Every structure is written in C-alpha cells, then in structure tokens.
Amino acid sequence: MPDKNYKRPKNLDLLHIRLPIGGFVSILHRVTGVLLVLVLPLTFLLLQESLRSPESFTQVVALLGSLPARVLLFFTTILLAHHFLAGVRHLLLDIDAGISHGGARLGAWLVLAGVMAVAMVTAGRLFL
Amino acid sequence: MIPMNFRSSGSAHRGLGEWILQRLSALYLAGFAVWIVVRLMLLAPTDYVAWKAWMADGGVKLAFALFFLSVLVHTWVGMRSVFLDYLKPLWVRTVAQLLLSFGLFALAFWAAQILLVDARA
C-alpha cells in the first residue's frame, strides 16, 4: 500500500522550488514583457499628444517632469532594460552562444548586472 | 499531384512561423530601441517645432511604422505564449485572446493615426 500521507513534490510549486539563475532571468523576461504591454497604450498617448499641437506638447513635457511620471518612467526603463538584455541573451542562446552551463549562468548574471547599471544611471538622470 | 498517402500536418508546424516572427520582430525592436535612445540622448529636439519636423521626416516615420508593426507582432506572439501556458480553462484563454486581438487591432489603428495625421509636417 502506498503511503497516502506522503506528500509528493510538485515540480511547479513556485513557492517551493528555487529557480536557477537562468530560470529566474527567463521568468522575469515574461513578467517584464506583460508589464510593458500594459504601458504600451500610455506611450502611444504620450507620443500622439506630443505631436498634436504646441500646447499639448508643452503639457506632455510638463507631465513628464512631474514626480509621479518620473517614478513611472524609472520603473518602465528598468522593465525595458531587463526585457531588452534578457531578450538579447535568448537570441544569443538561439545561435548557441553562451549555451554551456557556465556560459548560461554567466549570461544571466550579466543581464542582472546590466539592469542594475541602467537602473543607477536612470535614477541619477531622473532624480538627481 | 498530391500523393495518396498525403496527410496534412494540420497545426503541427504553425508554431515555427510564430517562433520566427518573434525573433525577427525582436531584432528590429532591439535595433530601434538602441537607435531611439542614442538619438534622443545626443540630440533631443528641444521644442515643438523641432520635434514635429523630426517626426515628419520620411525615414523617421518609416522607422516608427516598422516599430509599430514589430511591437504589435511581438506582443501578439508573446502574450499568446503566456496565455497558452497559464490560462487553463479554454473559455478563459479564448476570451483573453479575443480581448488581446481587439486591443492590438485598436493599437494598430491608433498607430496609423499617429503616423498619418499627428506626425504630418
């Protein structure tokens, strides 16, 4: 008789598995992608308003200078930086560049380091 | 002539086209992102007239048109994979894909309006 109380491990129990660094960067690529889609209509709106008339252009510039807009801009830049760098990593993996175990781990760490660098430069430009 | 033992592969190879579209659009989006960031950081148009004149340029408009096309294609394939992986009940997935289609359709018209009306010289 199999032990009914034995809890079999669930491989997709996200709260219990520890993703390797490559998996972590990869799932973040999905998360940032979905979040960027949500920001997309906002960028369409800002682009359109910036072109519509001199008055609306001034409004867009003033809006982008406000603190809430700069905070949103900061987070959007981080999302974009991660999605861009992790995407480049995936494209390189497609052509077998950095496909080895160590190479893939190094690439994942480089992506995170790159995102940190972009975050610091962006924070400096937006908030200092 | 189709051989007697011909069998349609059905939807078995449909994913390949999407896989390629995802990567082609990714390449364009990556190049566009680098270009737009460098261009706007080095030579940011300072006033409305300069901004409008830049956007009215044929080459810039073409670059933006290809960007809009790529971003819509990239969004379609990417969100579809997310839906296929995480939305289990068929009706939920179908509704999500329907809403996504409508949304992207609306964005396509919006992009056309920006390029043809708002970015006019």
Q: Does B33 touch chain A (CB under 8 A)?
A: yes
In a domain, residue A10? The reply is no
Q: Which one of A29, A37, A89 would you mutate to disrupt binding with B, by most B Cβ within 10 Å of its Cβ? A: A37
A105 and A21 in contact (C-beta within 8 Å)?
A: yes
Number of folded domains that form chain B: 1
In a domain, residue B43? The reply is yes
In a domain, residue A39? The reply is yes
- Could you tell me the residue range of the domain that residue B56 belongs to? 20-118
* Predicted local distance difference test score (pLDDT) of residue B80: 94
In a domain, residue B5? The reply is no
Q: Do A48 and B118 touch (CB under 8 A)?
A: yes
How far is the C-alpha of A51 from the C-alpha of B108, rounded, in Å? Answer: 18
Residues of chain B with pLDDT under 70: 1-13
- Could you tell me which residues come within 8 angstroms of residue B78 by beta carbon, excluding any fewer than 6 positions away? A30, A33, A34, A37, B22
- Could you tell me the residue range of the domain that residue A67 belongs to? 21-127
Q: Does B104 touch chain A (CB under 8 A)?
A: no
* Predicted local distance difference test score (pLDDT) of residue A1: 58
CATH number, domain of A45, equals 1.20.1300.10
Q: Do B114 and A51 touch (CB under 8 A)?
A: yes
Residues of chain A with pLDDT under 50: none
CATH number, domain of B96, equals 1.20.1300.10
Q: Is the dihedral of CA B74, B109, B53, A41 positive or negative?
A: negative
In a domain, residue A61? The reply is yes
